[in-house]
Amino acid sequence: MAVGDIIAFQSTAAGGIVYQPAVGVEVIITAVFQYNGGAQSQGLRNAAGDESYLATAPAEAGGGQMNCKIGVTNTVYWKMTGSAYKPGFTGIQTK
């Protein structure tokens, strides 16, 4: 991957996801997708296990999307809590 490349991730299994870029890589997440949000939330996490949730998904059936501009690195990275459905996100590599 290189600066300007699009990052697109679709989970292959139900449940939460963690996306941690390689050392020296920075990514801006621009949209998060999930189905039937209920107990899902998105946020940042670090190696010490500290978490800061940014938003919770809508609870209506049929899915939810959050448009955002969230920078993640190898030390402060993206986490989405568990779900019975397959979450995903898209973004762009900036470094």
| pTM of the full structure | 0.78
Residue 82 lies in a domain: yes
Q: What range defines the domain where residue 80 resides?
A: 6-93
Q: Which pLDDT value is given to residue 56? A: 58
Q: Which pLDDT value is given to residue 22? A: 94
Residue 30 lies in a domain: yes
Structural domain total, the chain: 1
Residue 1 lies in a domain: no
CATH classification at residue 83 = 2.60.120.340
* Residues of the chain by 3-state class (helix, strand, coil), percent to 5: 0, 50, 50
Both tokens of 66, joined, read 């959050």
- Give the largest CA-CA distance in the chain: 38
**Residue 63 to residue 87: CA distance in whole angstroms:** 10
Per-residue pLDDT of the chain (95 residues; tens, 9 = 90+): 899 999 998 887 777 788 999 999 999 999 887 765 555 677 888 888 888 877 555 555 556 667 778 899 999 998 887 666 777 889 999 99
Q: Which pLDDT value is given to residue 12? A: 77
